[in-house]
């Protein structure tokens, strides 16, 4: 079993930081949701999903940030971090158990984030939340793969 794609997926969920708007005005929050985070996490300003309006994406971005401050989400993220650490350190027979623990940790985190988003903005429909969560995970996974590709290209250039 190849654990590399699993590590990308774990990373896509794990490294989405718990952002909070530094200014509390709705305009500042919408501005922050539009900008996203340039280094890590979702960039809601660049997110495009078929059948979803920019206003829905902005509302989702605000709810996402609030959701990531939820105690249950933070606890699930910490458990996922522990599972990820065990997966990286696992050898042989331990690997299968570590992969299983990481997958269940990802599932738990996704469920907790979805619940917290629904609490943060009850107007968002479950189908919309799922669609946007998939898009955000894909965006972050692609960003991580690009960063890894660039770092391997950069390290190869330095060695020459």
Number of structural domains in the chain: 1
Residue 158 placed within a domain: no
At 113-128, the pLDDT tens digits run 999 999 999 999 999 9
Residue 159 placed within a domain: no
Binned at pLDDT 50, 70 and 90, residue 35 comes out as very low
pTM over 0.85: no
Residue 43 placed within a domain: yes
pLDDT at 19: 41
Residue 154 placed within a domain: no
Helix axes 93-120, 71-89, angle to 10 degrees: 160
Contact 19, 44 (CB under 8 A): no
| Average of per-residue pLDDT across 78-91 | 90
Binned at pLDDT 50, 70 and 90, residue 81 comes out as very high
Residue 24 placed within a domain: yes
At 131-156, the pLDDT tens digits run 999 998 888 888 888 888 888 777 66
Structural domain that includes position 21: 4-148
Residue 155 placed within a domain: no
Residue 30 placed within a domain: yes
Residue 92 placed within a domain: yes
């Amino acid at each position: 079993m190849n654990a590399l794609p699993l590590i990308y997926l774990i990373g896509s969920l794990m490294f989405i930081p718990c952002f909070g708007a530094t200014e509390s005005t709705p305009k500042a929050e919408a501005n922050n949701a539009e900008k996203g985070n340039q280094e890590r996490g979702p960039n809601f300003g660049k997110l495009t999903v078929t059948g979803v309006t920019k206003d829905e994406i902005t509302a989702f971005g605000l709810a996402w940030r609030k959701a990531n401050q939820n105690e249950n989400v933070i606890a699930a993220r910490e458990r996922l971090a522990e599972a990820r650490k065990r997966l990286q350190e696992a050898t042989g027979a331990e690997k299968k158990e570590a992969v299983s623990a990481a997958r269940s940790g990802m599932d738990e985190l996704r469920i907790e984030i979805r619940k917290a988003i629904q609490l943060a903005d009850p107007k968002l429909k479950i189908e919309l939340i799922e669609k946007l969560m998939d898009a955000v995970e894909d965006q972050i996974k692609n960003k991580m793969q690009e960063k890894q590709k660039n770092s391997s290209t950069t390290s190869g250039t330095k060695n020459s």
